[in-house]
Amino acid sequence: MPKFEVDPAVHRGLADARLNVEIDNGDMILNLGPQHPATHGTLRLVVRLDGERVVASDVVIGYMHRGYEKLTEYRTYPQITTLINRIDWLSSFANEVPFVHAAEQLMGIEAPPRAEYIRTALTELSRIATFLLFLGEMGLQVGAITPAFYGFRDREYVLNAIESATGGRFHPNFNRIGGLKDDLPWGWIAETRESMRKVLKSCDEFEDLVVSNPIFQKRTRGIGIIPAELGASYGVSGSNLRASGVDWDLRRDGKPYLVYNDLDWKVWTHSDGDSFARYWVRLQETRESARMVLQLLDVMPSGPVMTKVPKIIKVPEGEVWVNTENPLGEMGYYVISKGATGPFRVKIRTASLSNVSIAPWLLRGVYLPDIITVLASLYFILGDIDK
Amino acid sequence: MGNNVSKKDAFAKHLKGMLGGLRVTLRTMLKPAVTVQYPHEQEAPPTRARGVIALLEENCTVCMLCARQCPDWCIYIEGHKEKRPARREGGKDRTVSVLDRFDIDYALCMYCGICVEVCPFDALHWSPEFEYSESSIAHLLHDKDKLGEWEATVPVAEPLEIGAEVKGKK
């Protein structure tokens, strides 16, 4: 076969011609990621632009797939709690709770009341830690760097509280089937009360610094609006859906879990559904969570934190679906057990996957700089998307 | 005219929002810094912090429970059995397990603490020590001598919070 040779000048001409066609077409393909700082991980976004407006976009996921559903089939129940910490690494304690509840329901045991109260307090603390990072980082995405520092500073107080109780800063692994690993250390309640006051104060700061800032409002108001029905049909959950005016919170409306029914709290909603509404709802929820923790610390019952469980945990045959309100939205585990030391199959429903699935619809027609704002306001964690 | 007024209003609103934010930053500026100049200054980690696992060699009976329960199997244990003379006069010789190798690969360790928890003879402990980074990943494999050195840094268990159940002696 003769070698097909083309003069390099022709190649150059062809490349120019293609470029001209693309320019004439008026569309440009822009590739964001997978290593883009604004995507909190490895999310790839392919955007088709007409001038500065987005015509179409595609979200490419899976760069961080770690195969949790398969891994759980080869681990025992106590080993799984340490793995599933890493699904959503910002609110790792909240990841453990639904799984441990699923195993407890299958075994027909219940954690003692003190353990449930501590679990609730730590879940809310991890919610505050997650949201404080969002409140700061959202400022960063619109070009203000100061809120990011404030967010990280205030998150430290919460992480210190989690670390001194559980021993792990990001990956507590504190839940055990039938209770908790250990009781709280001496002085924890007083320290946490102090840091919750700091959190409430810093929420006021965010209100002054970010929410009432005219530039922030111009960058977020009326941009990236999720209509309530459409959001629900995409499976968007959590604060994203509440920011569209849907009054739905699994802590109140779902199957009762932990001790939320004993507390005095409120579900916050916003009717706008835009980026600003999502920020505002999360700010209010941070406040509400801090108030909930303060209430929990006041009424913490005494007693053991662990029920009697066998040394080798074998979960009887059965299936159970447990879903909870995680900081990012609805998270659930469908656990099928065949009576062994480990589950037969686990299906993990993570909030971020559904939340980010609306992005192609949401990004249609927005300006290029607003892509980052809209994505940041959806608030997803890549580990939570790719599992 | 009306347009003029609304412009003025918008300007006032913008100014108010800006000044509100600047007030926050100014207040923060006057407060002392919250950051610590590591490594010149150090904050002590909490007593419970899971920094490094320490091994008390004489308590280990080579039962392999920790190696088996580890979620990513990063503990390597080898041992052999030895005959020791009986404790009492005229008794049978005892068989004891002697630890030859006890390695933890900290490049793999997930710091979950399952090994410390399952150890039936209290040979493993958590220490909040965290400064053992290495320039080569192979040096993160700590052998039993190195794990034994960490034992000196293990803190005394702290008391529990009010309302906790005090475990009685069995």
pLDDT confidence of residue A38: 60
Label residue A286 by pLDDT band (50, 70, 90): very high
Contact A181 B161 (CB under 8 A): no
pLDDT confidence of residue B130: 85
ipTM: 0.79
Whose CA is closest to B51, among B138, B150, B161, B165? B150
Sign of CA dihedral A273, A277, A279, A281: negative
Report the chain A residue with the minimal C-alpha distance to residue B13: A214
Residues B14-21, mean pLDDT to the nearest whole number? 81
Q: Using CA atoms of A334, A381, A287, A144 in order, give the dihedral in degrees to the nearest 10.
A: -170
Distance CA A345, CA B101 (A): 36
Sign of CA dihedral A248, A254, A256, A259: negative
Q: Over the stretch B88-133, which tens digit does the pLDDT of each residue have?
A: 777 778 888 888 888 888 888 888 888 888 888 888 888 888 888 8
Please name the member of B24, B45, B46 whose beta carbon is closest to the beta carbon of A208. B24
Residues of A in contact with B71 (CB under 8 A): 75, 79, 82-83
Contact B48 A160 (CB under 8 A): no
Angle, helices A368-378 vs A113-141, to 10°: value is 170
pLDDT confidence of residue B1: 46
pLDDT confidence of residue A334: 92
Distance CA A226, CA A359 (A): 10
Q: Over the stretch B35-79, which tens digit does the pLDDT of each residue have?
A: 888 888 888 888 888 888 888 888 888 888 888 888 888 888 888
Give the list of residues 6+ apart from residue A248 with CB closer than 8 angstroms, or none.
A241, A242, A267
Distance CA B55, CA B144 (A): 7
Q: What share of chain A has pLDDT > 70, as a percent?
A: 92
A62 in contact with chain B, both atoms CB, cutoff 8 A: no
Distance from CA of A303 to the nearest CA of B (A): 5
Residues of B in contact with A210 (CB under 8 A): 21
Q: Identify from B34, B74, B161, B167 which residue to disrupt to test chain A contact, counting A C-beta atoms within 10 A and taking the largest count.
A: B161
Domains of chain A, start order: 59-385 (1.10.645.10)
Label residue A11 by pLDDT band (50, 70, 90): low
Q: Does residue A385 carry a pLDDT above 80?
A: yes
Distance CA B24, CA A314 (A): 55
**Pairing relation of β-strands A318-326 and A53-60?**
unpaired
Q: Identify from A116, A149, A198, A209 which residue to disrupt to test chain B contact, counting B C-beta atoms within 10 A and taking the largest count.
A: A209
- Structural domain boundaries in chain B: 1-31, 52-151
SS3 assignment for chain B: CHHHHHHHHHHHHHHHHHHHHHHHHHHHHHCCCCCCCCCCCCCCCCCCCCCEEEECHHHCCCCCHHHHHCCCCCEEEEEEEEEECCCCCCCCCEEEEEEEEEEEECCCCCCCCHHHHHCCCCCEEEECCCCCCCCCHHHHEECHHHHHHHHHHCCCCCCECCCECCCCCC
Cβ-contact B126, B48 below 8 angstroms: yes
Greatest alpha-carbon span in chain B: 114
Contact B114 A205 (CB under 8 A): no
Average pLDDT score over chain A? 84
Distance from CA of B80 to the nearest CA of A (A): 26
Surface of A (327-346) touching B: CB under 8 A: none
Q: Over the stretch A212-253, which tens digit does the pLDDT of each residue have?
A: 888 888 888 888 888 888 888 888 888 888 888 888 888 888
Distance CA A199, CA A54 (A): 38
Residues A308-324, mean pLDDT to the nearest whole number? 86
Contact A165 B48 (CB under 8 A): yes
Q: Over the stretch A246-281, which tens digit does the pLDDT of each residue have?
A: 888 888 887 888 888 888 888 888 888 888 999 999
Residues A178-200, mean pLDDT to the nearest whole number? 88
pLDDT confidence of residue A272: 86
Q: Does residue A15 carry a pLDDT above 50?
A: yes
Higher per-residue pLDDT: A12 or A385 = A385
In CATH terms, B52-151 corresponds, of 1.20.58.1180, 3.40.50.300, 3.30.70.3270, 3.30.360.10, to: 3.30.70.3270
How does DSSP classify residue A207?
I
Distance from CA of B91 to the nearest CA of A (A): 34
Label residue A6 by pLDDT band (50, 70, 90): low
Give the list of residues 6+ apart from residue B145 with CB closer than 8 angstroms, or none.
none
Label residue A128 by pLDDT band (50, 70, 90): very high
